[in-house]
């Protein structure tokens, strides 16, 4: 099994109905799945349907009031949690499954393999007491907190390359000395957070705000000279990637101009710090870019595993 990449996905994620014209739509996941199933390494992918996270697990990072509010809105037929975040009657259960996918992915990584999470709704804008920005529950933060409950994990680092700052992840881990968070994001931009002065209670947060129009050269410079040293200094036992692909130059909602190969580059560099990565989908709203990026990242994870397997043999 060491030569395979586990992908967590369920058709149930397609039933989170955000309404006509909403950018966070089921076609996003369809594009990712289609790209992987038409790749030349399909036989190296293990597809698994995730479990639902429990309310007790969600309560590790979210208040009871937050969880109950989302449940009640969905039970009464749905509505808007904020102006950008619609839910339908099925969205609560689907969000539980999305969170559960990240927890299942964690178990795979603890077993010394990488995992790719293709789920929705995304999570990095969801704060402890607030759903916003298409996000209901903070999936990456939940996986990080869950990881620390295992004896072999003492420190976790979350790298968020989504073009929007992950205010929710930051909000939840801000005063946790064992979870480090680093974000590269367009600034000023939604959600308005992510300035350099936001550094965490234990200097465990690093924000790298970037102006609109930034391309590959400056982005890679910041990644190599700022992101990588911060992650190395944190000496993580686990690296989680909040993998939004809306910093791609084709994305319609933002103005950072990365290429598909830039996401491949970052994944390879992160594997040199830790060979087994937990990679989960956040944003990204151009379907072609989404498919391409998922495909190259999966290939990186598979190729790296093949190399390690050959060396052990």
Region 284-310: mean pLDDT is 84
Asked if the model's pLDDT at residue 117 lies above 80, the reply is yes
Q: pLDDT tens-digit profile of 233-242? A: 999 999 999 9
pLDDT class for 303, splitting at 50, 70, 90? confident
What CA–CA distances, in Å, run from 289 to 84, 167, 169, 257?
A: 22, 24, 24, 12
Which residues are identified as catalytic? 125
Strand order in the sheet with 238-243: 45-48, 5-8, 115-117, 277-281, 238-243, 156-160, 179-186, 205-210
* pLDDT band at 305; cut points 50, 70, 90: very low
Banded model confidence at residue 304, pLDDT cuts 50, 70, 90:
low
State what percent of residues in the chain have pLDDT above 70: 96
Q: Provide mean pLDDT across the span 69-87.
A: 98
Determine the pLDDT at residue 3. Answer: 65
Q: What are 96's two structure tokens?
A: 């539980």
Q: Give domain 5-312's CATH architecture.
A: 3-Layer(aba) Sandwich (3.40)
Report the share of the chain in percent with pLDDT over 90.
96
- Look up tokens 């595993």; give the residue: 305
pTM strictly above 0.85: yes
**pLDDT exceeds cutoff 90 at 55:** yes
- Indicate if the pLDDT at residue 188 is higher than 90: yes
User: What is the pLDDT of the chain when averaged over all its residues?
Assistant: 96
């Amino acid at each position: 099994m060491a030569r395979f990449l586990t992908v967590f996905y369920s058709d149930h994620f397609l039933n989170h109905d955000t309404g006509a014209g909403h950018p966070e739509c089921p076609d996003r996941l369809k594009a990712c799945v289609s790209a992987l199933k038409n790749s030349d390494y399909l036989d190296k992918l293990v597809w698994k349907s995730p479990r639902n996270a429990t309310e007790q697990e969600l309560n590790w990072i979210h208040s009871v009031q937050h969880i109950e509010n989302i449940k009640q809105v969905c039970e009464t037929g749905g509505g808007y949690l904020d102006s950008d975040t619609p839910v339908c009657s099925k969205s609560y259960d689907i969000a539980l499954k999305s969170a559960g996918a990240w927890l299942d992915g964690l178990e795979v990584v603890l077993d010394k393999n990488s995992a790719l999470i293709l789920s929705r709704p995304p999570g990095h804008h969801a704060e402890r007491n607030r759903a916003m920005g298409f996000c209901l529950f903070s999936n990456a933060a939940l996986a990080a907190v869950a990881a620390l409950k295992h004896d072999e994990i003492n420190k976790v680092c979350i790298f968020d390359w989504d073009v929007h700052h992950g205010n929710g992840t930051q909000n939840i881990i801000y005063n946790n000395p064992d979870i480090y968070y680093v974000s590269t994001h367009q600034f000023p931009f939604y959600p308005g957070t992510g300035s350099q002065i936001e550094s965490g209670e234990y200097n465990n947060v690093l924000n790298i705000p970037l102006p609109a129009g930034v391309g590959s050269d400056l982005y890679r410079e910041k990644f190599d000279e700022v992101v990588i040293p911060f992650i190395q200094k944190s000496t993580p036992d686990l690296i989680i990637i909040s993998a939004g692909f809306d910093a791609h130059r084709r994305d319609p909602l933002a103005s950072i101009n990365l290429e598909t190969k830039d996401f491949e580059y970052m994944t390879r560099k992160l594997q040199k710090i830790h060979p087994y990565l937990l990679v989960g989908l956040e944003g990204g709203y151009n379907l072609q870019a989404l498919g391409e990026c998922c495909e190259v990242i999966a290939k990186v994870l598979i190729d790296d595993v093949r190399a390690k397997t050959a060396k052990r043999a």
